[in-house]
Amino acid sequence: MNVYDFQVKNNKGELVSLSKYSGKVLLIVNTATKCGLTPQYEALEALYQKFQTEGLEILDFPCNQFLAQAPGSDEKIEEFCTLNYNTTFPRFTKVNVNGKDADPLFVWLKEQAPQDLADEEAKSFEKKIKVIKPFAKPGDIKWNFGKFLIDKNGNVKARYSPAYKPEQLEKDIQELLQL
């Protein structure tokens, strides 16, 4: 099984097979529009602009599970991201990433990479948010902007902490693009 075996709904409600992205490097991110990490959209778009022509796709999955920081409809989220951050990467319908109603894609992603890579800043952030919202179980996504890096064959190569800055992923993305 790999990421291409999944179907998800885009933000217009249309079913999309992730096999559409076969042969590309993917960065799958659970996002929110009212979070302290929301400015990461700017860095994500910069990565997308830099590497899209080489085969990078960023897949944005809004999630309202963390203090309801992704309020509004899929249309309102699209409008916010486009107007405030000029994002051009694909956005999908709002999903749950943890718990009994977690989207199957995120259940699989967490199974493939149960632990985040994190630098000291990200670890500090995780200590703060654990006080606000304890993680239900090991492997759960800790907050908005958890990131999964997928190779061209559809396999999870790395999982990054929500506070791990997107620009820090550049080297890892380049390595996968060159394979």
| Burial class of residue 119 in the structure, from the number of CB atoms within 10 Å of its CB (0-12 exposed, 13-18 middle, 19+ buried) | middle
Which amino acid is residue 130, in one-letter code? Answer: K
Q: Which residue bears the tokens 């051009």? A: 88
CB 156 within 8 A of CB 112: yes
The two tokens of residue 146 are 């958890």
CB 55 within 8 A of CB 129: no
CB 63 within 8 A of CB 96: yes
From 25, 35, 56, 141, the catalytic residue: 35
- Rounded to an integer, what distance in angstroms lies between the CA atom of residue 116 and that of residue 113? 8
37: how many CB neighbours lie within 10 A of its CB? 18
- Rounded to an integer, what distance in angstroms lies between the CA atom of residue 49 and that of residue 86? 11
- Is 81 part of the annotated catalytic residue set? no
**Catalytic residue positions, numbered:** 35
